[in-house]
Amino acid sequence: MKRDSRLSSVLHALLHMAEQEGPVTSDALAQCLGTNPVVVRRTMAYLREAGIVTSDRGHAGGWRFHADLGSVTLRQLHEALGEPAMFAIGNRNEAPECLVEQAVNAALEDTFAEAEALLLKRFSEITLADLAADFARRHAAVRRKRS
Amino acid sequence: MKRDSRLSSVLHALLHMAEQEGPVTSDALAQCLGTNPVVVRRTMAYLREAGIVTSDRGHAGGWRFHADLGSVTLRQLHEALGEPAMFAIGNRNEAPECLVEQAVNAALEDTFAEAEALLLKRFSEITLADLAADFARRHAAVRRKRS
DNA sequence: CTATATGTAACATCATTAGTTACATGAAAC
DNA sequence: GTTTCATGTAACTAATGATGTTACATATAG
C-alpha cells in the first residue's frame, strides 16, 4: 500500500517558501522535493483552496505564503488536504449484518478512533513555526560540527 | 488506498471458530467473511505459522483453535500477521539530506510513533474473550428485541 | 480408490498516490 | 503586441499491495 506523503510534501514546501523572499515557483519546489512541478501544483492547489497560500501566474509568479508561521498547524494542513485516511488498517466490511463482525468492528473502530483523536490533537499543537525552529536547531548543529 | 483488513478478517474467523465444535473449513469461513476460501487459507496461514491455530487436511479437516480465548490478544494477532503498517500517511523521503525535510520527518515520525504505541498498547489489552463477550451482549440484545 | 480438505503458484482486479506529457491561459517584460 | 515565464489542468502511465480467482498438487479419512 502506497503511503500518502502529501502532508510531508506541503510541510517541506512551506518551510522552503518561508526561507525565501518573494514567490517560489513550482519548478523550484519540485527540485527541493525531488519531484515534478505538476505534482507540486496539484498538491499545493489544496492549500490554495484553503486560503493558506496564493499563486500567481506569469513573470515573477509562483507560490506565496503570507501568514505567520506560528498561525498554521499541521491539523489545518491535514484538513486542507481533505483529511485523507490516517490508517492503513481497517474493517473488512463497514456495515455487516453478522453480529460477530459487528463486535470485531466496534473494537477496532474504538481503538483507531482513539488513536486518530490523539493524532489530531498533536497535529493541532504543532505549527510551522515549531518545525522552522527545529530546522534552525539542526542547521546550527551542522554549522557547529563543520567549524 | 485499499485498507488492510486482515486483522479484522482473522478476528471474525477466530470468533466463528470458537462458536463451533470441531474444525471449520476454509469454505465455511469464506462464507462467513464473504470471500474466497483461498483468501482464508492465505490469511489464516499467518496464524498457523505463529502457532495460534492448526489446520488439518482431508476428511474432517479444517482450522482449529485450541487455546483459551482470553489468552490471545489483538497484538499477538497483529504480530502474527507480520506487523503490517498501521498508517496510510508517511514521509515523502525516509532518509533525506535536506535539513528542512529532516525536521518535517522528525515531527511526523514522533507523532505517528506515539499513536502507534497507543494502538499497540490497546491491542495488547484486548483479548478474543473480550470480543466474544461483546458479541454475546449483542446477541442477547437482539433476542430481547425479538421477543 | 474416492471424496474432501488444505497448500500454493500464478495471474487478474482494484484503489490511490505519484509521475509524466501536452497544451491552454494569464501576466509581466521588452 | 510579441515573447517569455509562470500556473491550471486534462489525460495517461507507473507503482504498490491487498484481495479475488483459477488451477492443480498433496494429504487424509473412509
A26 beta carbon to strand D: under 7 Å: yes
Q: Per CA to C1' distance, which residue is closest to C18?
A: A39
Residue B107 touches partner A, C-beta closer than 8 Å = yes
Domain that holds residue B138: 6-146
Asked if residue B66 belongs to a domain, the reply is yes
Asked if residue A1 belongs to a domain, the reply is no
Asked if residue B68 belongs to a domain, the reply is yes
- Average pLDDT of the residues of chain B: 94
Q: What is the pLDDT of residue A146?
A: 77
Q: What is the pLDDT of residue A144?
A: 87
Contact A19, B103 (CB under 8 A): no
Residue A20 touches partner B, C-beta closer than 8 Å = no
Residue B30 touches partner A, C-beta closer than 8 Å = no
Residue B41 touches partner A, C-beta closer than 8 Å = no
- Nucleic strand C contact set for A 43-102 (CB, < 7 Å): 43, 56-61, 84
Closest-CA residue to B109 (of B96, B122, B121, B123) = B96
Contact A132, A15 (CB under 8 A): yes
Residue B71 touches partner A, C-beta closer than 8 Å = no
Q: What is the pLDDT of residue A1?
A: 55
B63 beta carbon to strand C: under 7 Å: yes
The pLDDT confidence band at residue B99, using thresholds 50, 70 and 90, is: very high
Task: Count structural domains, chain A.
Answer: 1
State the CATH number of the domain containing residue B87.
1.10.10.10
pLDDT surpassing 70 at residue B1: no
* Signed CA dihedral, A63, A67, A71, A76: sign only: negative
Contact A103, A110 (CB under 8 A): no
B123: part of which helix (H) or strand (E)?
helix B99-125
Asked if residue A36 belongs to a domain, the reply is yes
Asked if residue B94 belongs to a domain, the reply is yes
Mutation target for A interface from B7, B9, B11, B33: give the one with most A CBs within 10 A.
B11
Q: Determine whether the interchain pair B130/A107 forms a contact, defined as Cβ–Cβ distance below 8 Å.
A: yes
Asked if residue B82 belongs to a domain, the reply is yes
A27 beta carbon to strand D: under 7 Å: yes
- C1' nearest to CA of A3: which nucleotide? C17
Q: What is the pLDDT of residue A95?
A: 84
pLDDT tens, N- to C-terminus, chain A (147 residues):
578 999 999 999 999 999 888 999 999 999 999 999 999 999 999 999 999 999 999 999 999 998 999 999 999 999 999 999 999 999 998 888 899 999 999 999 999 999 999 999 999 999 999 999 999 999 999 888 877
Closest-CA residue to B37 (of B74, B60, B63, B19) = B63
Asked if residue B1 belongs to a domain, the reply is no
Cell readout for B9 is: 478478517
pLDDT per residue as tens digits for the range B25-72: 999 999 999 999 999 999 999 999 999 999 999 999 999 998 999 999
Contact A122, B37 (CB under 8 A): no
Q: Minimal Cα–Cα distance from B108 to chain A, Å?
A: 8
